[in-house]
Amino acid sequence: MSKYIVINDSNFESEVLKSTLPVLLDFWAAWCGPCRMVGPVIDALAEEYDGRLKVGKVDVDQEGDLAARHNVASIPTLIVYKDGQIVNMGAGAQPKQKIEALFLDLL
C-alpha cells in the first residue's frame, strides 16, 4: 500500500497547510514521461520517510486550479511545505538525492 496522499482542493488545507510534518508535494500528470520516471522515487520516499514526512501527489489534470495557484508551469514540480509555508521547490525529473535535498534539513 502506498504511503502518499492524493491531494486535491478539498483536502489541501488539512493535509498540507495544517500538517505537523513537512510535506513534499509532487505535481504530476499521467501523460508526462518525466513524471512517470520520478513517480517510483516519490513512492519510495513516502515509504522511507513515513512518519517524518508527508508525501502528497497532485494530478494537474484533475486539480488545475491548485496547480495554477502554485504557479506550476512545468511538470513534474516538487514543492516542500513546512508549517503551512513553501520552503523549497524543484522542477523536472531529478534523482532521489536531489529530491531528498529539498526536505532533509527539515526532518
- Active-site residues, by number, are 32, 35
C-alpha cell at 88: 523549497
Amino acid, single-letter form, for residue 21: L
Q: What is the dihedral of CA 44, 47, 50, 54, to 10 degrees?
A: 50
CB neighbour list of residue 68: distance below 8 Å, 6 or more residues apart: none
Give the Cα separation of 10 and 50 in Å (integer): 23
